[in-house]
Structure 1
Amino acid sequence: MSEIRRRSLVTAMLAGGALPSLAWSQNAATLEIGVLPNISARLLLAQYQPLREYLAREMNRAVQVSTAPNWTAFHQRTLALDYDLVVTAANLARLAQLERGYVPLLSYAPNIKGMVVCASAKPIKTVAELRGQTLALSNPQSLVTMRGMQWLAENGLQRDKDFKTVNAPTDDNVGNVVVRGDALAAMLSGGEYRAIPDAIKAQLQVLTTFAEVASFVVMASPKLSAAEARAIKAHLQGFAAGSEEGKAFFASSGFAGMREPAAGLMESMDPYVEATRKVMAAPG
């Protein structure tokens, strides 16, 4: 795969700083971090700039952040070992662990809220009103959507039988789909809701928060040695533990911190493994 194609969507490189480092030298290979495109590339680039700057300075090493046009392409690049680190959804993290030997380093806090929103101009009171209607999905391959489909089924609503779905082109404009009337409501995560432009968000209201699911996981590629992975993890913990760059990242992203993965976190994704493989293999 060509370098231009692989990093076509969003790529940023920071040269290593002048500070000394015990772990890295200025001749070290660029550290590439792949970030799941759960929001638009423009917003991801802005959010992850503080992390790039911090790691480049502290490790005295070039750091690059990349994403992909969609979740499937990102996951394919993950499995192809295109990245040294990935920040990805917990269900995709489990697949990467099982299929390619990625190692979980940290998970984001807090957990991710699953939400349903509707237009303020056409409010709905209960989820039952979705019967015979269209539901917009910001990220149809997400853990929030998988859990959301379970929740709707528990409420007597089966996808493609009782309601249909439409996929939004990008999650930061899923609100437009609802405001235009192309869908009665939208299902999305708290972070995706946060990414909706204020002018659109002002025309929406939250119907319900139906669940909380595991947050994103930072995974180390099997290309990295155990010592490299430990060193990078320590830098990430420093970033999250009160650095100015960390404060800026958490303020813009809506996350609150990075923590050790909870015991059993990865195994808790096993019920979603086959469904995740299926949606990742589906065309479009």
Structure 2
Amino acid sequence: MREIHGNRSGQSLKAVFALALFVLLGVIALATSPASAQTTRVYTISRAPQLSAIVLAKIWRPYVDYLIKETGYHFRLKLYGSRPDFEKDVVQGTPDFFYGNPGYFIVGRKLHNYSALVRSNARQLKGIIVVNKDSPIRTIADLAGQTLAFPAPTALAASLYIRTLLREREGISFKPLYVGSHENVYRNVANNISVAGGGVHRTLNREPEELRKHLRILFETPGMAPHPISVHPRVPVAVATAVIETTLKLQTTEAGQKMLKNLKIQKPVAADFLRDYQSIEELALKMYAPLVNKSK
């Protein structure tokens, strides 16, 4: 009796072991299958450091969480401590998606064939020059020979576009001072550290009234289509399409409209290179030539 009982026990253990091995192999196969890899892939969304990383995280984290919830895909927000770090990623084609000015999109398109997905249709991108409200400067001609503050050499509307217009169209020479952010530009000018500085309306409007009351807009550039969300061609079409559709869907709710306002993508529309950005391609590649050359 004991011998028969022992055989049955051994057979049972073998059966359990075989079943466990079968299940384990099945799990491994599932985890390494293309379908599983696709569902667990994390796509980076990089945001140009126009404002501090703390401010941008508060604005962009809810949007990224919304994309994850609505699309079922996985996204990760990537912010930067400096503009050169962001530019390095764009030049190397690191971000799956990025939000930056049209110049960065043109560079990404030139180097890696990025596509523009969606942009705001509520406004045009315009650079502004601000001076202290008590400044004697009344025209841009008065800026000749002066030191002007800018966020960074490659900030499109707030720096590159303004500098190009002043030098090439107006023939005005000046000394640029790069102070790292729009916020620093406005504080430099308000505190009379620089006689004038470059920015854009949306970042100026974010500043507290206590600061803005010390500033005056001296000059405004012609407009261009605003910042797009761009996508690298390695991202599957289904994922890129989901980002477009989910972003456009935000318009249908009050909470979504508030989110779009915070993102500065009000009234979003699908972007189109020929319609929106081809007209500035030559100028952008000229202004961003140092970035393009870094890839060589």
| Equivalent of 1:188 in 199, 203, 206 | 199
Name the aligned partner's letter for residue 256 of structure 1.
Q
Does 2:247 correspond to 1:260? no
- Using the TM superposition, name which of 85-94 and 106-115 deviates more: 106-115
TM-score, length-normalised on structure 1? 0.80
Residue 106 of structure 1: CA displacement?
1.4
Q: Distance in 1 between matches of 2:202 and 2:253?
A: 22
Please state whether the residue corresponding to 2:135 is helix, strand or coil.
Answer: coil
Does 2:238 correspond to 1:223? no
Q: Distance in 2 between matches of 1:119 and 1:244?
A: 37
Q: Distance in 2 between matches of 1:143 and 1:25?
A: 38
**8 Å contact from structure 1 (residues 40, 171) kept in 2:** no
Give per-residue Cα distances to partners, 1:121-174, cap 9 Å, x unaligned.
32521111112211111233122122212321322303xxxx211112322221
Please state whether the residue corresponding to 1:213 is helix, strand or coil.
Answer: coil
**8 Å contact from structure 1 (residues 134, 182) kept in 2:** no
**8 Å contact from structure 1 (residues 103, 220) kept in 2:** yes
Name the aligned partner's letter for residue 201 of structure 1.
R
Please state whether the residue corresponding to 2:55 is helix, strand or coil.
Answer: helix
| Equivalent of 2:166 in 152, 161, 186 | 152
The structure where strand makes up a greater share of residues is 1
Residue 99 of structure 1: CA displacement?
0.9
**8 Å contact from structure 1 (residues 35, 86) kept in 2:** yes
The structure where helix makes up a greater share of residues is 2
Q: Distance in 2 between matches of 1:191 and 1:275?
A: 22
Larger Rg: 2
**8 Å contact from structure 2 (residues 87, 291) kept in 1:** no
Q: Distance in 2 between matches of 1:278 and 1:31?
A: 28
Q: Distance in 2 between matches of 1:253 and 1:152?
A: 30
Q: Distance in 2 between matches of 1:251 and 1:230?
A: 22
Residue 27 of structure 1: CA displacement?
4.8
| Equivalent of 2:133 in 120, 132, 135 | 120
Q: Distance in 2 between matches of 1:271 and 1:26?
A: 38
1:11-30 alignment runs, 5 A limit: 27-30=39-42
Residue 279 of structure 1: CA displacement?
5.8
Does 2:268 correspond to 1:246? no
